[in-house]
Structure formats: C-alpha cells, structure tokens
Amino acid sequence: MSGFNKVVASYQEALAGLEDNMTIIAGGFGLCGIPENLIQEIKRKGTKGLTVVSNNCGVDDFGLGVLLKDRQIEKIIASYVGENAEFERQMLSGELEVVLTPQGTLAEKMRAAGAGIPAFYTATGYGTPVGEGKEVRTFNDRNYILEESIKGDFAIVKAWKADTYGNLIYRKTARNFNPMAATAGKITVVEAEEIVPAGELDPDQIHTPGIYVDRLIQGTFEKRIEQRTIRHSGEQ
C-alpha cells in the first residue's frame, strides 16, 4: 500500500494493529452486507475483550456470532438480539454486557462520530429505560435525551465495488449501516467484491468517499441468507 492506493494484500495486513479490549464498529444488517471475511480474521486472531457496535450480532455460526461463540466479545451495543440464540443466552445469563439502542439512534451515533459531532439530542427513548440517567432538554414543547456518538478503534465495512483510492459503492439493501460505520472508525477497513483502478467509478455514484477509508481488500463472499422464504407452486 503506497500513496493514495489503499489496497492491502492480506486480511492479516488489513487488521494489523487490532488488539484486545478495542472497540469495533461493524457494518451490516443481519447477514446482509456484513464484512464476513474480516470477522473471520478477528476470530482467527483470537482478539478478546472486544466492544462491538453493530445493528445485531449475526447468527450462531456466521457473522459476528462466531466471535460470541469464542467469547471474544465482552460488550455489544446493538439494536436487537435477532436470530442469535447464543447472543440471547449470554445476555440473559449476564455473561455479555448488552446496550440495546434504538436503530435510528445507533445509526446517528455512527454518523455523528464521523462528522465530528460528540453528542446529539433525540426524542427516541425518552420516558423509557433507554433514556434513564441521560440529560433531558425541551425543544418546541417536546422532550429530548442527549445521546453520545460512538467512535471505534476499528470500523469494518463491506462494499460492492471500490476503487484503489478507497471510494466505495454499496449494492441495494447491503448498504444499510455500512456508510455510517465507514466514517466512524479511527481505522476503517473495507472488503469489496470488486476493486477497480482509480477513476473508473462515476463520482456521482460513490456512496463513501475514499478519505474515510484506510485499508481495502478484495474478498470472496458466501452471502448466506438469514431467513429463506419460498412460495409454493401455484400460490399468488
């Protein structure tokens, strides 16, 4: 990797410097748009005591769920437990610290961090356990709670297409949390399905500018489906 070229040759190089007790912000929603190979590299490294910020935690044997299985995650800030039975078990048993956060608030915590905004007010969560102990202000006769943004030591992101400068395009619903996550890491690492030379992407189509990206690697992906729904022949 030299100059503006963000491409690295291996997953070990992509996650160099990741250490125990760090905070990782992960893009993805369920199993859609997750940086699955970067997650597998964290599993291989055996990094422990992690705080993970993500919409949810994959499933039992795929995505972030593999880090739960190996007890590599100490705390997770997420929107819901989802389809992960081990996540549920560790949360209910007290083995895992879980901070359930409204989905829009979680997205804004990432976006605000990337914009250099340390905190923001939102009405979401006021008057519920989410708002307990948080500062309250009233604007236009409505109560709002103060939420702090979240900056990760690392952000791990999945893109559909990238150029060597780190400019990114996401594909359809796989975009989800990835654009916000990409801005919120001290070191942002991206794996992409395709990497093209700088200048080949239409500037009007770029979702994340390369200024946010530190390392980039091309991967191959399983793209597992979390919930497969089929229609029987003859059904309308």
Query: Tokens 């200024």 belong to which residue?
Result: 211
Say if 4 falls within a structural domain.
no
Tens-place pLDDT, residues 187-208: 999 999 999 999 999 999 999 9
Say if 226 falls within a structural domain.
no
Residue 194: CATH number of its domain = 3.40.1080.10
User: Mean of the pLDDT values across residues 8-16?
Assistant: 98
Range of the domain at 28: 11-133+142-218
- pLDDT above 90 (res 98): yes
- Domains in the chain, number: 1
- pLDDT above 70 (res 88): yes
Say if 228 falls within a structural domain.
no
Q: What's this model's pTM, rounded to 2 decimal places?
A: 0.93
Say if 235 falls within a structural domain.
no
Tens-place pLDDT, residues 128-161: 999 999 999 999 999 999 999 999 999 999 999 9
Say if 2 falls within a structural domain.
no
- pLDDT above 90 (res 229): no
Say if 117 falls within a structural domain.
yes
